[in-house]
Amino acid sequence: MEQLLINGLIAGSLAALIAGGLALVYGVLGIFNLALGQMVLLGGYAVWWLHQSVGLTLPVSIVGGLLMAGGLTWVTFEVFIAPFYKRHRFLPLVTTIALGMILDAAMLLFFEARPRSILSNGKNIMDIGGVRLSVEQVYLVVLTVLLLCVFAYVLHSTPFGRRIRAVVQHSHAAMSLGIRASVLHRVIFILSGVLAACGGIFIGIDQNLTPVLAFPITIKAYAAIIAGGKGNFWGAIVCAYLIALLEQLVIGIEWFGRFYIPAGYQQSVALLFIIVFLLCRPSGLFSFKNRTA
Amino acid sequence: MGFLSIREVSLAIQGHMILDHVSFDVNQGEVVGLIGPNGSGKTTLFNLLSGFLAPTGGSIHFRGSDITNCSPSVRAQKGIGRVFQNFGIFRDMTLEENILVALEALPHEQKKLLGDMKFLVHRTLAMVGLEKSAKKKAGALSGGQMRLLEIARTLKCGKDLFLLDEPTAGVSPKMTGQVSGLIAELKREGKTVLIIEHDLPFIGRICDRVIVLDVGKVVLEGTPDEVKQSKELQEIYFGADPTT
Amino acid sequence: MKRLLSFLSCVAVLSGCTGGGSSDGTDPIKVGYLGPLTGEATSYGMDTLNGVKIAVEDINAEGGINGRKIELIAEDGRCTGTDAAGAAQKLIHVDKVSVIIGGQCSGETLAAAPIAEAAKVVMMSPLSSSPDVTNAGDFIFRDYPNDALKTKAMANYFKEKGYTRVVLITENTDFAMAFRNSLKENTGADNFVLDEVVEPGTKDYRSLLTRLKGKEFDVFFPNGQTSATVAAMIEQFREQGFLQPMVSHDVAQDKSLLDLAPKASKGMHAINVPEVSVDSAFGSKFLSKFGDAQASLAFAAHAHDAMRVLAAAMKEVGTDSMKIRDYLYALKGHDGVVGRFRFDKNGDVVGIPYVLYEVKDGAWGKVADIPVD
């Protein structure tokens, strides 16, 4: 059981990184970015390339990879989002699908189809009271939680974070106060790209990178933000962990001491989660009625 | 040219004239009421003034400079403040943060003149009697309190022109008095105010001048008394055969 | 994008053969290629396509088939049935190819087979090993051995080692599922302690593996479609502290598995077709043209031999499908890069042996030949 919780924590940390950025983008711009999974993978590949091919040290590669991811997301915003999202918020849905296909092909071209792992030597396993996990996983989970803490601080205790929250909650009012929403839109989109790249690095270290992972990643992130409530950053994070934990429990537990659920159903958990939420709480897990007329 | 001058402003959306060559001036320090039935284009005009929409024709000048093509945030920094019909407050932020974020968004040179932000936040909340709820989420306030908070915030952010969209909507009768008191305060401070309002007695109490809008056109302009007695207004609001 | 890729590869081949020079006015013979050029299994597609390209270039340099050059048209099957069916339709009815080399994934071959069969076009798969391909049609051949034989060899190996309690995790693809069924048939369904099927591309097996805690078993069989999933399986298997031996098939015996899971793959076994050395004539030619094989040089060699044996047939009997088919059934033996082989009455290859491999010092090494009866 402890092992399942730890497994959920590992998988959840990965999902949280990706879903968090997506929630911000959805909350602020109201748009769907369907090339998210590809951005995740590109971040991982960039670090793999810098570390394994160029030969930089891992920390330098990670910083470099994140910078590259940030740059790429910026270009993405200017070319695929900015010209469209003010006309209709569904237009980026189409343009980002196109972008996703372009990136899929680009990854095959530059990184080939063979799987890549960022670390060349295997993992160092440890055993803590019957729970087994690798040193790398401990790092990844701790860094993710740290990153989320930094985000929490920025979002809730700095002028910049206040501005973001203001734009999320009432963009017209924020603009009428002199907040430059268009600049914030760019910053937030780039931030989501960088967070996604962190997810890619996570995958590249904990598992391995293959160019076709993108779509399932996107789906899971969307499950988390739908369940977490529209544009609710913390809701999305909590739901990402929740879905990951459920996925582990569903197949890891001997239900009622009698049977196991076949592993093939594991991936349906996220989708089932969306459906249940849309039926029971369409506005998400973390939206409370606080409107008084 | 007035403090705010609107010249031949039109807006056509898919062939429909939402606003049709609207022109009027507002002088500095004046409180002007904007009335008209639903769908007459009042809020649309506000959206053109705040920069959320771009007119398909005409121009808007504020303090002598053309702002027709400025972004909302630039207009805000030039001194145009807006109070929204659906409450322009940030519900998931505390009252304190609601004021703070507005102060922080001011242009640099103005921010330098503010002095201690904490103190200013406290004073702004105290002005509308909400200082005790400083740490509460704004979403927990009553409609009247939200409106007071929003007006006080706009007032303390050094705005010179106020666009108030139905400040009494969603406000209990008890609080309406407080809201109009606050608007009177704006007037005393020499601010220029443009109000959209359905409550005609309310308009009569506080406005210097009233502009009547119908189907996207200015149909009437005058003092509250003149407008109240005119036949046109009766027709617009109650049809050709008035029962009162 | 897949169109773009296949277009690019066509252009590459075309420019390769027009460089040959002599044109005696006869039309080129069109040969179709069908395989995964995009998607998870792209490495198989790249290796086999490159293998075919080498054969085509050599044949054209030798003057073609009775003076006619070969024109290669590659289509993307994406390792899925629907894409492969569409690609086969295009090759047969639009391009009007004489023969098809493909598909690579068993799912591709099985979906394309009825189309080729109906149009009476000979199709030869260099890579599909699913037992279902055996009865896919009269015009369907393969020069890669049937997994029914491999699972038999595997069952014998388990018996020999005394492995009676097997843990099997299978990726839900045509190839891996057929392998699972065939393995269960040959080993006996009672011998499986855990037998789970996961969605294609799954990378997280931790919780599934926790079910094994406290259970007794002898051997772990990671039955994935690609080395990426096998790597995740074996790495997480070792992570959980299980020390049992691991045995797998062709997919695992891949260089990239060793890069992905250098520690976990230590001592792992695999049963596969014989390797093709990079030092061989074919190997060095491949290396100089395309660099390291993305999955395995043996895949490229099988694809090369498929093109060669089809070329030999067309040289002898022309491009008539019936005659090509009859030639292949009657063939006594063809000496290819992978060895001397022929085809049985179902179009399955005969003559390719199996080898037991083990990961030693960070490389796959041969342990023993496994005779095929």
- pLDDT reported for residue C27: 87
Taking an 8 Å cut-off on Cβ atoms, the answer to whether B157 and A181 are in contact is no
**Which of A2, A41, A126, A132 to probe by mutation at the C interface, max C CB count within 10 Å?**
A132
Q: Which residue has the tokens 């009775």?
A: C66
Encoded amino acid at B242, one letter: P
Nearest chain A CA: its distance from C328 CA (Å): 33
- pLDDT reported for residue C372: 67
Please check whether residue A180 touches B, CB under 8 A.
yes
Residue C363 placed within a domain: no
Residue C371 placed within a domain: no
What distance in Å separates the CA atoms of residue C194 and residue C211, rounded to the nearest whole number?
9
**Which of A2, A7, A134, A248 to probe by mutation at the C interface, max C CB count within 10 Å?**
A7
Average the pLDDT over A210-238 and give the result. Answer: 83
Together in a domain, C223 and C291: no
Together in a domain, C6 and C141: yes
Of A241-255, B222-236, C10-24, C280-294, minimum mean pLDDT range: C10-24
Strand partners, B195: B33, B164
Give Cα A263 distance to the centre of its chain.
Answer: 24
Digit-coded pLDDT (tens) for C167-189 = 999 998 888 998 999 999 888 88
Together in a domain, C285 and C260: no
What distance in Å separates the CA atoms of residue A259 and residue C321, rounded to the nearest whole number?
53
Nearest chain A CA: its distance from C41 CA (Å): 7
**Residue C84 pLDDT class (50, 70, 90 cuts):** very high
The answer, yes or no, to whether B and A have at least 3 beta-carbon pairs within 8 Å is yes
Residue C369 placed within a domain: no
Taking an 8 Å cut-off on Cβ atoms, the answer to whether B102 and A175 are in contact is no
Taking an 8 Å cut-off on Cβ atoms, the answer to whether B90 and A293 are in contact is no
Digit-coded pLDDT (tens) for C266-312 = 999 999 988 888 889 999 999 999 998 888 899 999 999 999 999 99
Q: What is the ipTM, given to two decimal places?
A: 0.86
- Interface residues of chain B, partner chain A, Cβ below 8 Å: 50-52, 71-73, 76-77, 80-82, 84, 88-93, 97, 100-102, 104-107, 137, 139-143, 150, 153, 157, 170
Residue C235 placed within a domain: yes
What distance in Å separates the CA atoms of residue B226 and residue A110, rounded to the nearest whole number?
76
C-alpha closest to that of C103 among C80, C120, C73: C80
* Higher-scoring residue by pLDDT: C351, C125: C125
Together in a domain, C15 and C139: yes
Residue C364 placed within a domain: no
Together in a domain, C238 and C91: no
**Residue C140 pLDDT class (50, 70, 90 cuts):** very high
Instruction: Answer whether C301's CB lies under 8 Å from C47's CB.
Output: no
Token reading at B181? 């008191």
Together in a domain, C228 and C312: no
Instruction: Answer whether A94's CB lies under 8 Å from A189's CB.
Output: no
Question: Residues of A with CB below 8 A from B153's CB?
Answer: 177
Residue C43 placed within a domain: yes
Domain edges within chain A: 2-280
Q: In which domain, by residue range, is C224 found?
A: 147-272
Instruction: Answer whether A25's CB lies under 8 Å from A232's CB.
Output: no
Q: Which among C272, C289, C307 is the end of a domain? A: C272
Which residues, in sequence order, are CB contacts of A87 under 8 Å at separation 6+?
A: none
Q: Which among C224, C254, C272 is the end of a domain? A: C272
Digit-coded pLDDT (tens) for C117-139 = 999 999 999 999 888 999 999 99
Token reading at C171? 């990726």
Out of C39, C197, C239, closest to residue A123 by CB: C239
Cβ-based burial of C88 (10 A; exposed 0-12, middle 13-18, buried ≥19): buried
Token reading at C311? 């070329």
Instruction: Answer whether C120's CB lies under 8 Å from C91's CB.
Output: no
Please check whether residue C294 touches A, CB under 8 A.
yes
Together in a domain, C141 and C154: no
Taking an 8 Å cut-off on Cβ atoms, the answer to whether C294 and A247 are in contact is no
Q: Which among C218, C244, C272 is the end of a domain? A: C272
Rounded alpha-carbon distances, angstroms, from residue C298 to C50, C280, C302: 12, 11, 6
- CATH number, domain with residue C218: 3.40.50.2300
Taking an 8 Å cut-off on Cβ atoms, the answer to whether A122 and C264 are in contact is yes
Which secondary-structure segment (H or E) carries C360?
strand C354-360
C11 pLDDT higher than 60: no
C-alpha closest to that of B105 among B79, B132, B134, B69: B79
Map out the domains of chain B with their CATH numbers. Answer: 4-238 (3.40.50.300)
Question: How many Cβ atoms from other residues are within 10 Å of residue B91's Cβ?
Answer: 16
Q: Where are the alpha helices (DSSP H) in A112-179?
A: 135-157, 159-169, 171-176
Out of B92, B102, B104, closest to residue A169 by CB: B92
Together in a domain, C109 and C18: yes
What distance in Å separates the CA atoms of residue B143 and residue B168, rounded to the nearest whole number?
9
**Which of A175, A182, A283 to probe by mutation at the B interface, max B CB count within 10 Å?**
A175
Q: Which chains touch B (3 or more CB pairs under 8 A)?
A: A
Together in a domain, C26 and C138: yes
Full DSSP string of C202-213: ----HHHHHTTT
What distance in Å separates the CA atoms of residue C318 and residue C341, rounded to the nearest whole number?
21
* Beta strand residue intervals within C7-113, DSSP E: 29-35, 70-76, 99-102
Digit-coded pLDDT (tens) for B195-213 = 998 888 888 888 899 999 8
Total number of domains in chain C: 2
What distance in Å separates the CA atoms of residue C167 and residue C193, rounded to the nearest whole number?
6
- pLDDT reported for residue C3: 47
- pLDDT reported for residue B111: 82
The residue of chain B nearest to residue A184, with distances taken between CA atoms, is B73
Interior CA angle at A285 toward A280 and A288, to 5°?
100
Average the pLDDT over C333-337 and give the result. Answer: 93
Taking an 8 Å cut-off on Cβ atoms, the answer to whether A262 and C197 are in contact is yes
**What are the two backbone dihedrals, phi and then psi, of residue C243, each rounded to the nearest 5 degrees?**
-110, 0
**Which of B75, B95, B104, B117 to probe by mutation at the A interface, max A CB count within 10 Å?**
B104
**Residue C12 pLDDT class (50, 70, 90 cuts):** very low
**Which of A88, A158, A160, A177 to probe by mutation at the B interface, max B CB count within 10 Å?**
A177
Strand partners, A276: none
Token reading at A211? 């160019």
Tell which CATH architecture fits domain A2-280. Answer: Orthogonal Bundle (1.10)
What distance in Å separates the CA atoms of residue C225 and residue C172, rounded to the nearest whole number?
8
Rounded alpha-carbon distances, angstroms, from residue B92 to A182, A189, A283, A290, B98: 22, 22, 15, 9, 9
Taking an 8 Å cut-off on Cβ atoms, the answer to whether A177 and B157 are in contact is yes
Question: Residues of A with CB below 8 A from C263's CB?
Answer: 121-123
C-alpha closest to that of C178 among C142, C151, C144: C151
Taking an 8 Å cut-off on Cβ atoms, the answer to whether C260 and A104 are in contact is no
Taking an 8 Å cut-off on Cβ atoms, the answer to whether C197 and A264 are in contact is yes
Rounded alpha-carbon distances, angstroms, from residue C29 to C9, C60, C363: 17, 11, 41
Interior CA angle at C230 toward C225 and C235, to 5°?
165
What distance in Å separates the CA atoms of residue A207 and residue C53, rounded to the nearest whole number?
34
- pLDDT reported for residue C35: 94
Question: How many Cβ atoms from other residues are within 10 Å of residue C209's Cβ?
Answer: 25
Together in a domain, C226 and C84: no
Which of A:1-60 have CB within 8 Å of C?
3-4, 7-8, 10-11
* Sheet (strand B209-214) strand order: B80-83, B161-165, B192-196, B31-35, B209-214, B217-222
Out of C43, C201, C240, closest to residue A132 by CB: C240
A213 pLDDT higher than 80: no
Token reading at B202? 């309310």
Taking an 8 Å cut-off on Cβ atoms, the answer to whether A117 and C38 are in contact is no
Question: How many Cβ atoms from other residues are within 10 Å of residue C284's Cβ?
Answer: 12
Together in a domain, C202 and C251: yes
Helix (H, G, I), strand (E, B) or coil at B184: helix
Which of A:87-106 have CB within 8 Å of C?
101-102, 104-105
**Residue A293 pLDDT class (50, 70, 90 cuts):** very low
Please check whether residue A257 touches C, CB under 8 A.
no
Average pLDDT, chain C: 88
What distance in Å separates the CA atoms of residue C145 and residue C139, rounded to the nearest whole number?
17
Together in a domain, C310 and C190: no
Q: Which chains touch A (3 or more CB pairs under 8 A)?
A: B, C
Which secondary-structure segment (H or E) carries B8?
strand B4-13
Residue C188 placed within a domain: yes
Out of C45, C46, C239, closest to residue A125 by CB: C239
Helix (H, G, I), strand (E, B) or coil at C123: strand
DSSP state of C131: G
Strand partners, C334: C341
Of A37-46, C14-23, C86-95, minimum mean pLDDT range: C14-23
